[in-house]
Structure 1
Amino acid sequence: MSAMVSGQGTGIETAEPMAGDERRAVSEFTYLLDKSRQLFNGLRDLPQYGQNHWQPHFTRTFDVYTRLWKHQQQNRQLLDARFGLKRWQIGEIASKIGQLYYHYYGARSACSLRTSETGYLNEAFSFYSAIRQRGYYNSADTDTRPDLCVKKLRYVARFVVVSLLLHKYHVVRDLVTELTNEVGAYSRQHGGDEQEWRMVLQEIQAFVDADPWQFLGEGGPIAVATCRLAPSEALALPHGLLVPTPLALADAILVGNCAEQEPPERRRENPHKYLLYKPTFSQLYTFVATAFRELPPDSALLLYLSASGVFPPSDCKERGPYEQGGVMTYTRRDIAAPDPATPAAAHTSLLRHIHCLHPGDLLPFTRKPLVVVVDSPSSSAYKGVYSPFGVPLLCLLSPTSCPKHLTGSGGGGLLTLFLACPVAGIACLCGIGGPLSASLVATCCERVQQGEVEALALLGASQPEPSWLPFLGDVFIRRLVARFILMSCAMRAHRQLRALGSFPESWPPLPTEDLLSNPRLLALVRELATSLDARPAFV
């Protein structure tokens, strides 16, 4: 994602001497070009964790690229004639500006999310679209230099990522076809690393298939249930519920070890976020420690774990914070996910594996307010997390088992699906993968919002554990809690899951009997099931 410009500008001048104004314009362009390269390299090489060192460098880089873009627009004919400016070089500048917008929205190496402001994504999409519409990279199809073909491949791959994040699936389909053709042409012409690019295509397809927000029909997406929250959709605190010293979510670290288990990151307000894909233990601990260090007063840190489970041996009699299992954040092909049904000797070593995150690993960070969400078959291990420092702590834990046909076509965790898009979660519980009409999705979204409001009202009336209350001051955590309650109620009302007896849990626990069996909340669940023509699946 961070291919750098090389060989920018030919430096070719015509035989005719340049006038003073022309020479100054060319000199200014070459200066800005070199400076932009240096700053972009520096931005790429900055540590991926922490905020304080990143913003000043980004601002300088963006300023230079803005000046460079305006300068080439104002002097295009002169630079064509006196500098030998090529169209692919203009495309490269535009591509870097698109990357910078994506940097500010999102991610270096798809790792850290900066602001999640969709306005920056839209700007990146505009620049990438202009490159494609104006054919800036068309010469790469006939050029004999492999580096220019690689530039085009990387540009198209970035364009795919931005289009995916904006749910522009019609663009994604066209780009995937284009990227597939370009990879084949690159391999035929230059004998390049086709296998590496085939893996890129496979990962892109995996993310498309795992996206829970699209309901597919034979002709493509019929309806998309977005989980981006508009300001008008913010859940208000229930009337009469007093929140002492409300906390604001300032940092979120989202961890997944497969595309299908990607945790939700879209939201209305935007804390600083990191999205870590298969991090090693040392990487994850560095990110958590940095976020902990930079956490402002009266703020909370969210750690979202969506990963494979690690289980204790069946003969393990110890009950400490490192004996109950955890999640495997980093997986390699030679490390298989443990199965609780296998003999103890088969996965004892995995329990002690360096990349297993145990509940005990979180204790140092409970010195500040912490929300932990675990979507894993071993989530129950985190019921042992506690705060020895008397600081607010909240854990939302997935069910430890669920029939595979009720976890969505992507294979990801049901908790992640519900928290990110409750309509998709309910549809999976009802055994529906698509197609759904836009009007039906809109109806279901409206009922889900009613359920979220009702869930919070019931929580406020049920005298929740005091440690819950400070977190309810944040609009995003409030939304997570409401959806968690709605999911817990729906699963307890589902006939097959009711018989299985594995439900979401929270720590400190919810007042289960008063809240999750409430007739008003159950009625909303039944209405949703009736809308989806799946009423018999629920009691």
Structure 2
Amino acid sequence: MGDNADNTMSDATEDSSAVVIVDEFQSLQQKSEELFEELKHLPQFGQRIWQPYFGKAFSTFTKLWKSQQEHRPILEESGVLQKWDIGNIASRIGQLYYHFYLKTSKVNYLDEAFQFYSVIKSRGYYKDADSKELAVKKMRYYTRFIVVCLLLDKKAKLQELIQDLSVLVNNYHETYEIEDKKEWNAVTTELKAFSSSNCIVRIIGDDGKPVNPTYRCTQILDAERTVMSSNLQLKEAVVIGNCTGQVKFSDLTVDTFRFLQLLEYDPSLCKRSKQDLTNPHKYILYKPTFNQICTYLSAGIQELPIDGVMLCYVSSIGYMPTYKPSQIEEFGLHFSGGVRTGPAERTKAMPDPQCLYPLDLLPFTRRPLMVIIDSDNSVVFKNMYNVFGQPLLVLMSPSSYPQPFQGLSKEGNLLTLFLYSPLEALCVICSVSVVSHQNWVKCEQILDRTLEKILQLCGNCHSLDMRVCQLMGDSLLAPLIAKFLFCSSTLYLHQVFKEPAHLPTSFPEFPSKEIIHHPSILASILSISSLLEVRSLFYELNDL
């Protein structure tokens, strides 16, 4: 009798304990979903607003994940936890890490997102997705995983995921009567095009396998060697993409995808550096309205510390209205054209209110500002004013290209490619598609010395605006400026880029003789072209 009573009491205790565990799990599950939904309604600008909400959501999801790990047999037996539920939790945590990356620009959060997404796939949490709702969740998970792989440059994994997603989409179409067939077909098409657009040059190692270069910042600027000294640091950036017809995936165009990586230190550098390397906060906008641009720029300026620099990057098609003579007198040069940043609207208003004009940026020049315009009408931004005396630099792409290169913008604009990977851009304008890794390393060594020399020339140039030199004291801005000047020198030396409109410009202008046309810079470009066996495409120094 006593033993039976003890067993009964023990069973009752276990049942009671199981009920508590199930109740706590369900409570955490409900709370976590509520918090996740709240995050969707937060303002997208202002760093201080999101932090407490994200912290609370992350803490709750962490407890939920730990609960299912510790009590999985009980939760599964009670029927409140299915395999795909675990996938949903892991997917949510992966999304949180990805959004932490977007909010903070810390690349290690992408690694964390990758780990959680990898667990979902390796353990088959969505393997038995047997309903339309679960099939859609699985495909959405794959698209998020793919974005993370793109940003981490995991090419092999990326190709595997794209193939898997294509199979899932086909199965989805065959299994369910659906209305979103075109949308999912468009997703897979975009992904394949986006992936192929990033295979610009094949670098082949000694073993015959492809080698992937690194695009994020891998070096800290040595101020003494480059004669740059400044306390200014890049802290905020607004990255805008709106190139009609350019390859894109989700809200990332090829140009914005490439450029955002240039604003990040490589994680390997962060680990070995004794300095506290902090990536600037970024807003990534796709076809924003003018009001949105003003809002995000204002938010960035408001968050800017006393030693901070704001950067605005725009990749867009140009807006070039045809005015009557009376309108030219009325509007003047300042509204003679701009760049189209948002969706095209049918309007008879001139100037078009949804375009970005040089004067639109004037209020933001109250703080140190660097602007990069990659557009076929970039040249209008030469009409900028520096009325507040703060460091200001505007880098502008060529406004036109020679006939052989006029279709490049679909797979990324040329100036942005030079900023992203100068050697790959040089290969593109020389029709080089394959390079041995041995030669690539030699070219990289020459390039690194050349970029350093460019910065030294800028620091020693007495005719260069010293406020521009202040911007070049930052370890992220300096390489951008040096690569811009390398682009200018390369196109100047290339025999096909003959017209002034084929060359980049800037405000204020960089002295050509002392920097862009300096013999040592041009000689380095010729050395690289010799290694690539395309020297005949460039002018010799004696021919200039």
Q: Same fold (TM over 0.5)?
A: yes
CA distance in 2, matches of 1:173, 1:331: 31
1:201 positional shift:
1.8
TM-score, length basis structure 2: 0.86
- Conservation of the 8 A alpha-carbon contact between 1:253 and 1:288: yes
Equivalent position amino acid for 1:495 in 2: Q
Q: For 2:71 and 2:111, how far apart are their aligned partners in 1?
A: 27
Aligned residue for 2:376?
377
One-letter amino acid matched to 1:365 = F
Q: Equivalents in 1 of 2:458, 2:52: separation in Å?
A: 43
Computing the radius of gyration over CA atoms, which structure comes out larger, 1 or 2? 2
Give % identity. 37
Aligned 8 A contact 1:321 1:360 in 2? no
CA distance in structure 1 between the aligned counterparts of 2:404 and 2:101, rounded to whole angstroms: 35
Could you tell me which residue of structure 1 aligns to residue 533 of structure 2?
Answer: 533
Secondary structure of 1:223's partner?
coil
- Is 1:224 the counterpart of 2:212? The answer is yes
Query: Counterpart of 1:374 in structure 2: which amino acid?
Result: I
Q: 2:184 aligns with which of 197, 200, 205?
A: 197
User: Helix, strand or coil: the match of 1:498?
Assistant: coil
Name the CA distance, whole Å, in 2 between partners of 1:235 and 1:426. 24
Deviating 4+ runs (over 6 angstroms)? none
Corresponding residue of 2:135:
149
- Do the aligned partners of residues 326 and 506 (structure 1) sit closer, same or farther apart at CA in structure 2, a change above 3 Å counting? same
Give SS of 1:305's match: strand
Contact map agreement 2:315 2:375 (CA 8 A) in 1: yes
Q: 1:212, CA displacement in angstroms?
A: 6.2
Corresponding residue for residue 255 of structure 2: 261
Q: 1:477-509: per-residue Cα shift (whole Å, max 9, x none)? A: 111111111111111111111356531111111
3-state SS of paired residue (1:270): coil
- Equivalent residue in structure 1 for 2:202, among 205, 215, 223: 215
The 10-residue stretch of structure 1 (253-262 or 355-364) with the greater mean CA deviation from structure 2:
253-262
Once the 2 structures are TM-superposed, how far is the Cα of residue 61 of structure 1 from its aligned partner? 1.0
Amino acid at match of 1:253: V
Q: The residue matched to 1:496 in structure 2 has which SS?
A: coil
Point out where structure 2 has 5 or more consecutive residues left out of the alignment.
1-10, 244-252, 266-277, 540-544
Task: Determine which of 157, 162, 168 is the counterpart of 2:148.
Answer: 162
Establish whether residue 54 from structure 1 lines up as the match of residue 50 from structure 2: yes
Q: How many Å separate the matches in 1 of 2:226 and 2:486?
A: 21
Q: Kindly state the Cα deviation for residue 412 of structure 1 after the two structures are TM-superposed.
A: 2.0
Residues 166, 188 of structure 2: 8 Å contact kept: yes
Tell me if the contact between 2:117 and 2:145 (Cα under 8 Å) persists in the aligned partners.
Answer: yes
Contact 1:95–1:131 (8 Å) recurs in 2: yes
> CA offset at residue 409 of structure 1?
8.0
* Cross-structure match for 1:123: 112
> Deviation at 1:135?
0.8
CA deviation profile, 1:464-489 (whole Å, cap 9, x unmatched) = 21221221221111111111111111
Task: Measure, in 2, the Cα distance between the counterparts of 1:76 and 1:461.
Answer: 66
| Residue of structure 1 equivalent to 2:5 | none
**AA partner of residue 213 (structure 2):** A
What secondary structure does 1:19 align onto? Answer: helix
Q: Does 1:95 align with 2:54?
A: no
In 1, Cα distance between equivalents of 2:290 and 2:404? 32
Helix, strand or coil at the partner of 2:498: helix
The aligned residue for residue 206 of structure 1 is 193
Amino acid at match of 2:138: K
In structure 1, C-alpha distance between the alignment counterparts of 2:403 and 2:75, rounded to whole Å:
60
Which of 280, 288, 305 is the matching residue for 1:271?
A: 280
Q: Is 2:477 aligned against 1:477?
A: yes
Q: Take 2:487 and 2:186, find their aligned partners in 1: how far apart are those partners?
A: 35
2:337 aligned residue: 325
How far does residue 19 in structure 1 lie from its aligned partner after superposition? 2.0
CA shift for structure 1 position 186: 1.6
Which residue of the partner structure matches residue 307 of structure 2? 298
Aligned amino acid, residue 203 of structure 1: E
Question: 5+ unaligned residues in a row in structure 1: which ranges?
Answer: 1-14, 107-113, 336-347
Instruction: Report the secondary structure of 1:374's partner residue.
Output: strand
One-letter amino acid matched to 1:121: L
* Paired residue type of 2:168: E
Secondary structure of 1:373 counterpart: strand
Could you tell which deviates more after superposition, 318-327 or 252-261?
A: 318-327
Count of residues in correspondence between the two structures: 496
Q: Write the distance in 2 (CA, Å) between the matches of 1:453 and 1:147.
A: 55
**Alpha-carbon distance, 1:224 to partner:** 2.4
Provide the TM-score with structure 1 as the length reference.
Answer: 0.87
* Letter aligned with residue 412 of structure 2: G
Deviation at 1:25, TM superposition (A): 1.2
2:247 alignment counterpart? none
